[in-house]
Structure 1
């Protein structure tokens, strides 16, 4: 434990503990972590490669899948490699600038991910409820602009977090009981006034709950209403299949971060390692499963992937 004590020369250094209480199992835990991470990278890079190569896939829906793949790669890469270095080599130190940078990119891509889910819900609404106007309403250029708006929103909302934290004084105990620099975990180490930080974090959660989720719910509510009016069973089943895939994606994307925020506020009785493992699964499971689910559900994309596999 002596190696965890910070001296005055370590004033700008934090220590990430990994998963407190399960230190002896870190190497064992790293096996599923690294496996899920590698599978996720391979799957998402495959989607990016195939869509980029195939002109027939240069459509709004596949452009959205590429955006989703990029955010999945970025979210997991902003946190998982550092966690693996902790598990494998016990490299727990991280500079304050490194910590704030990791926090910024992780939260930016997480909020960007939410914007993409809203756009995907709108895309499915237009495709199912107004198919004759789909090609004119949702062009590749318009999807790209919506992606840029989502990225701009994410940067503007998240940038204050590291800027505010960089101005706060921190206590001598700079040990973060986590695998990455999660915002609220870092905030709790400060000896200064963290009122604004807590308020801003609440605003971010409020934006997702009161803006993004209602827009997604509205889109799928309208889709379901139209679907149940379809007399053709085949079209009915196809529309429901699409909705099921998207609803899985939404549940897997929103549940863990909302759970994490609630745990910071009200979950004092829950063991820290349970909280940390569940949050880390958020960076591992969806990025790994999303390409598989979309590849299996989308015949056009699946056929192109199989074509490239057999070509190699």
Structure 2
């Protein structure tokens, strides 16, 4: 039995959720490539606008930490998450070779779960930032110092990578007896299900992570109760809430919903009907947030939107003059 598991470690997994693209292979490839390019361009554009336009970081602005969190914890993180999924999908569509090596599978899992945990923790940090800015504006400069922002950023990344590393090590130790993954990408639970040994520790750790990050989501919702109460009291706070908190809330709902669907699909799905639709929905957390979030923030944060429009108008004017 261990020999079978060892051979799996040395060879590959087959990804069994693909369907025959037939004559539409090029079309599907083009659509996926276009979406990936849009994700990269949208997130990179938002990062560049935030980093280049120093006027977003004026001393009189109380939003500097928010832009730093947005740039690091969302935009950069979503580029990493999307890049753990799209290149492999493009390769498979182009070559019709739906296999992945054991090492590449663990690597894909590590990057994608680091993205998931960083997204949740990052959204929690951003909710804390918005809570201080709106509910305790007089204490904001004292509480959200540059040192505090750097500590929160480091804590988010280190904590997320540590969570992922522990889960990856627990999965890598398991001897595997099968090599068929019924999805278009590797996830931890699908690999654990291929094990021929006891995986109780993996299950316990997985439920600990689920509880931990659902607790983070609960903390975010509690903070929003206070934010809404504060926003009701004054027009200025309502404006702040609509411009900075509403995009954050939409992002949280998108991400949590799509991730919950993937978790439920992996653990409790049965049957093989409509595999293409099921897997498209299961991959939402790698597809929808990286695509939608930069659009939501770019359109709703007034300072970012105005800088983007100014740059676009300036470039257009230069092009017309030439």
TM-score of the superposition, structure 1-length normalised?
Answer: 0.88
The residue that corresponds to 1:134 in the other structure is 140
The residue that corresponds to 1:117 in the other structure is 123
Taking the aligned partners of 1:254 and 1:17, their CA distance within structure 2 comes to 25
Q: How does 1:47-86 map to 2 (within 5 A)?
A: 47-58=46-57, 59-67=64-72, 68-86=74-92
Go from structure 1 to structure 2 and tell me whether the alpha carbon gap of 1:201 and 1:273 turns closer, same or farther (over 3 Å shift).
farther
Go from structure 1 to structure 2 and tell me whether the alpha carbon gap of 1:18 and 1:128 turns closer, same or farther (over 3 Å shift).
farther
8 A contact 1:22–1:273 mirrored in 2: no
Go from structure 1 to structure 2 and tell me whether the alpha carbon gap of 1:11 and 1:183 turns closer, same or farther (over 3 Å shift).
closer
Q: How does 1:18-167 map to 2 (within 5 A)?
A: 19-21=17-19, 24=22, 27-58=26-57, 59-67=64-72, 68-167=74-173
TM-score of the superposition, structure 2-length normalised?
Answer: 0.86
Match of 2:270 among 259, 268, 271: 268
Shift of 1:311: 4.3
Taking the aligned partners of 1:11 and 1:213, their CA distance within structure 2 comes to 36
CA offset digits 1:257-300 (Å, max 9, x no partner)? 12221223333257443332112232122211211111111121
> Is 1:257 aligned with 2:259?
yes
The residue that corresponds to 2:318 in the other structure is none
Shift of 1:92: 2.4
Shift of 1:117: 0.1
Go from structure 1 to structure 2 and tell me whether the alpha carbon gap of 1:112 and 1:102 turns closer, same or farther (over 3 Å shift).
same
Match of 1:191 among 189, 192, 196: 196
> Is 1:292 aligned with 2:295?
yes
Which shows bigger deviation, 266-275 or 176-185? 266-275
Shift of 1:16: 4.1
8 A contact 1:14–1:175 mirrored in 2: no
CA offset digits 1:115-144 (Å, max 9, x no partner)? 110011111111111112222211233122
CA offset digits 1:155-185 (Å, max 9, x no partner)? 22111222122221111x3121222211111
The residue that corresponds to 2:11 in the other structure is 13
8 A contact 1:48–1:69 mirrored in 2: yes
Taking the aligned partners of 2:262 and 2:314, their CA distance within structure 1 comes to 44
8 A contact 2:181–2:191 mirrored in 1: yes
The RMSD of aligned alpha carbons is 2.3
Shift of 1:202: 1.4
8 A contact 1:112–1:150 mirrored in 2: yes
> Is 1:181 aligned with 2:180?
no
> Is 1:229 aligned with 2:217?
no
Unaligned runs of 5+ in 1: 1-5
> Is 1:213 aligned with 2:217?
yes
Which shows bigger deviation, 67-76 or 28-37? 28-37
Which shows bigger deviation, 107-116 or 32-41? 32-41
Which shows bigger deviation, 177-186 or 85-94? 85-94
Taking the aligned partners of 1:11 and 1:134, their CA distance within structure 2 comes to 52
8 A contact 1:260–1:275 mirrored in 2: no
CA offset digits 1:46-65 (Å, max 9, x no partner)? 11112111222241111011
3-state secondary structure, aligned to 1:94: strand
- Give the number of aligned pairs: 302
Unaligned runs of 5+ in 2: 58-63, 316-322
8 A contact 1:17–1:176 mirrored in 2: yes
3-state secondary structure, aligned to 2:197: coil
Go from structure 1 to structure 2 and tell me whether the alpha carbon gap of 1:300 and 1:169 turns closer, same or farther (over 3 Å shift).
same
Taking the aligned partners of 2:268 and 2:17, their CA distance within structure 1 comes to 20
